[in-house]
Structure 1
C-alpha cells in the first residue's frame, strides 16, 4: 500500500500525513499544516518575542491574548483569532521547549476526538538569518476532518503570525544594532 502523499494548495501550504514508521521515535501522527518564513534577525531576537507571552498582544494577530508560563506541563490560555472567525480561548499544555529553538504545545478538543500538537521552531542559518516553522499536527479520530475543514484558515493564521513575527524580530534586531535585515 502506498503511503499518503503530501499536496500543496498554495505557496508554503502543506498538508502531510505521517506514517511514523521505523528507527527514531515516531513524530506525532496526523495531518500537518505548516507555514515557514525566513527572518533576518538573530534567534535571540525571535525567541524573546515567542517566549514572552505577555507581549503577544502587541505583535501577534493569531493569538491576541496569551497567559501562562513556558514550562513543560504548564497550562496556557490563548485567545486565538482565525481569519474570518470569532475569537476562541484555547487552553493547551506545554509539551516541550528549548530556548532559542522551539516551543511545542498540545491541545485536546471535543473530548479528545481531536488532539493537536502545535509547534514554533527556529532554525538558525547564520548570525542574523533564521527560518521559522510555524505549524500544527491534527491527530485523533476527528483530527484529519478538522484539518481539512479548517486548513486554509489555520494556514492563513500561521502566515499572518509569521509575517508579524518577522516584522517585530527584524525591528528589534535593528534597534539592538543588528544588521542586515530584509528591509536593507
Structure 2
C-alpha cells in the first residue's frame, strides 16, 4: 500500500470549490493533471478521466467508479488497472470550511501487487496532485472575486 496526500487553503466557500471541482466539462480549461473528465459526480457512476503525468507528459485514461459524493464535503472514487488487486486507487477530495474559506485535502491510497513497481507513476502523481490543488485554488479564487 502507498498513500499520497496534499492539502491547500482556498479563499472561497466549500460550495464554490465544489462547483469548480465537479464541473468536469471544464477541467481542460484549468486542470494541469486531470486534463479531461466526463461523467457525473454521483455514487455508482463511472467517470472517464484522462490524466497527464507532470514530468513525462505521459497521458493515461482510467474509468473509476464514484463511491461517495457529498456536495460541498467529499468526492471519492475507486479506479482499477485490470482486475481487483492488481493496481487499485482510492482517490478523494475532502472539503472543510475553515476561516471563511475551504481547506481541501486531496488523497489517494494505492493498493495491489503492482504498487511496488509503479514508484515513478505514484511520485509523478504526487506532483500532479499539488499542481491540481494550486490550479483549483487559482480558478476558484478568480471566479469568487469576479
Are 2:33 and 1:62 aligned? yes
What is aligned with 1:74? 45
- Structure-2-length-normalised TM-score: 0.92
Are 2:88 and 1:120 aligned? no
Q: Answer 1 or 2: higher relative contact order, Cα 8 Å, separation at least 6.
A: 2
**C-alpha distance in 2, partners of 1:58/1:135?**
22
CA contact (8 A) 2:53 2:121 kept: no
Unaligned runs of 5+ in 1: 1-29, 176-184
**C-alpha distance in 2, partners of 1:94/1:123?**
20
- Per-residue deviation at 1:140? 1.9
**C-alpha distance in 2, partners of 1:95/1:145?**
26
Unaligned runs of 5+ in 2: none
- Per-residue deviation at 1:141? 2.4
**C-alpha distance in 1, partners of 2:28/2:74?**
20
**Higher-Rg member (1/2):** 1
Secondary structure class of the residue paired with 2:130: helix
- Structure-1-length-normalised TM-score: 0.74
> 1:29-84: CA deviations, max 9, x gaps?
x3110111111111111000011111111111111111011111101001110111
Q: How many residues align?
A: 144
Question: Hey, which bits of structure 1, 4+ residues long, moved more than 6 A?
Answer: none
CA contact (8 A) 1:96 1:105 kept: yes
